[in-house]
Amino acid sequence: MNRRTLTKDEFNEIKELAEELAYSPTKADGASACRKLEFKIAMLRGKLIGDFNNCLGKMAAYAKSASGQVRDKSRWIDAMEEKLYVLESMLEGDRQ
DSSP labels, the chain: ---B---HHHHHHHHHHHHHHHT-SSHHHHHHHHHHHHHHHHHHHTTB-HHHHHHHHHHHHHHHHHSSS-TTHHHHHHHHHHHHHHHHHT-TTT--
pLDDT digit string, tens, across residues 57-96: 999 999 999 999 999 999 999 999 999 999 999 886 654 3
User: How many Cβ atoms from other residues are within 10 Å of residue 8's Cβ?
Assistant: 12
Instruction: Identify the CA nearest to 13 among candidates 50, 44, 55.
Output: 44
Is the pTM above the cut of 0.85? Answer: yes
